[in-house]
A and B are shown apart, each in its own frame.
Chain A
């Protein structure tokens, strides 16, 4: 079965370190997204991509970067982790029609920055 997987599921790191969260989908979807979930803020869009070599900033992109070198993967990098980036991160993918609910999420990556 096609799926979307995130790794690691849990990570603890220190302030200032570089961290990369992996996202891999096997649906061959063009669109991929990274969200973070925080209490009181819900799900906020960090970065998104509509295809290979395309990346776009979301509403909370500062301190994060992504790259899209193939269809299947959209890794999220925290260049210099900060305590404010402690959160649960969700990757998602869709073909094109998010309007009909065809946006599929991974199980999340919980990141703690000490």
Chain B
């Protein structure tokens, strides 16, 4: 049972445009959500997070939106750059100090 789902396995966006990556979750006990970025042959690295008490968190070109009623979050990257091409994982955590990850979305930013 996949508690964190990323329904789009891949996304292609032109450089300079907005990239929107989506994530859905089913476990209402999750209270913190994170996005990780992964380049080939490297481990995932933390990108941005949001607490369930907020609906938006912004860090430079990256913004995460949380809709608790819909159990949905999204990551917006504006403007997209070629270096943003990577696999993005959505993750969630509740009371235990461990993360549940989604299936990942491969973002390709084209010139």
Of the four ranges (under 10, 10 to 19, 20 to 34, 35 or more), the interface on chain A belongs to 20 to 34
| A105 touches which of B4, B44, B48, B98 (Cβ 8 Å) | B44
- A104-B36 Cα distance, complex, nearest whole Å: 11
Chain A residues with CB under 8 Å of B51's CB are: 99
Write out, one digit per residue, whether chain B residues 37-67 have a CB within 8 A of any chain A CB (1) or not (0).
0000111111111010000000000000000
| B101 touches which of A43, A100, A102 (Cβ 8 Å) | A43
Query: Are the CB atoms of B97 and A96 closer together than 8 Å?
Result: yes
Query: Are the CB atoms of B32 and A92 closer together than 8 Å?
Result: no
Query: Are the CB atoms of A42 and B98 closer together than 8 Å?
Result: no
Interface residues of B, count at CB 8 A = 26
| A101 touches which of B46, B89, B97, B103 (Cβ 8 Å) | B46
The B-contacting residues of A in range 28-51, CB under 8 angstroms, are 31, 33, 35, 40-45, 48, 50
- Within 8 Å of chain B (Cβ to Cβ): is A98? yes
Query: Are the CB atoms of B98 and A99 closer together than 8 Å?
Result: no
Residue of A nearest to B3 (CB): A59
Query: Are the CB atoms of A98 and B102 closer together than 8 Å?
Result: no
Query: Are the CB atoms of A90 and B44 closer together than 8 Å?
Result: yes
- A41-B6 Cα distance, complex, nearest whole Å: 10
Query: Are the CB atoms of B103 and A40 closer together than 8 Å?
Result: yes
Write out, one digit per residue, whether chain B residues 80-93 have a CB within 8 A of any chain A CB (1) or not (0).
00000000010101
The interface centre, meaning the residue of B4, B6, B101 with most chain A CB atoms within 10 A of its CB, is B101
Using CB atoms and an 8 Å cutoff, list the residues of chain A in contact with chain B.
Answer: 31, 33, 35, 40-45, 48, 50, 58, 90, 92, 94, 96-108
